[in-house]
Amino acid sequence: MEGKNIFRTKFDVASIVLIPACIGINYIGKLFASALKLPLWLDSIGTCLGACLGGPIIGGICGAANNLIYGLTTGDSITLIYALTSLFIGFFVGIMARAGFMKSFPKSLLTALVAGGVAIVISTPLNIVFWGGQTGNVWGDAVFAASQAASLPLWLSSLFDEIIVDVPDKIITLILTFIILKALPDKLTALYDADDEVERLD
């Protein structure tokens, strides 16, 4: 057996079935967040779970497919642009998880910071191109307006806007992912363990 490869992915039925479940979880997270009137999105719990279970490739697919499907079918076409952000969040969370950064609570906070950083780096240019730098979140846009009024450059204001919105969101998301992962039974997580060895009798 070759050495541990964090990009190793099983493309079996279990992994394919995981993708729509994760996309559904993203949707439920968003729904609960809006039902409880929380000022966060919480729409990437599924992507992070998919990434932790299936690895970076499945995580990336979950993220991109999530935005593409919602964008093309529920009329929220703005999310299409952010497919890129979701893809990279899934990818990097998957890498962190495979590298062992979802094993303990403090480590999962580090993963959250990585996810938040990825979201900021990818989303800020998209926000500038498509929305003139805003995010559509009240708190973030207030910061944007304030820093524009202080005549800071557009990219810096947009960056602040993103940081205010995305970092708390990703921290809560990864904490939830961590709690849920701990609650999952082993017989389920074993399905997605890419490093297991299959013993054949034939």
Q: Which residues bind another protein (CB under 8 A)?
A: 12-14, 16-21, 23-25, 27-29, 31-33, 35-39, 42, 45-46, 49, 53, 65, 69, 71-75, 77-78, 80, 130-132, 134, 136, 141, 144-145, 148-149, 151, 153-154, 176, 179-180, 183-185, 187-188, 191
Question: Shortest distance, CB of residue 50 to another protein, whole angstroms?
Answer: 10
Phi then psi for 200, rounded to 5 degrees? -105, 145
Distance (Å, whole) CA 91 – CA 114: 11
Question: Shortest distance, CB of residue 109 to another protein, whole angstroms?
Answer: 16
Question: Shortest distance, CB of residue 97 to another protein, whole angstroms?
Answer: 15
Using the minimum distance from each CB to another protein, give the nearer residue, 105 or 130.
130
DSSP code of 10?
Answer: -
Question: Shortest distance, CB of residue 37 to another protein, whole angstroms?
Answer: 6
Using the minimum distance from each CB to another protein, give the nearer residue, 70 or 92.
70
The sign one gets for the Cα dihedral 83, 72, 42, 156 is positive
Name, in order, each residue with C-beta under 8 angstroms of 181's C-beta and a sequence gap of 6 or more: 49, 52, 53, 102, 189
Distance (Å, whole) CA 91 – CA 52: 10
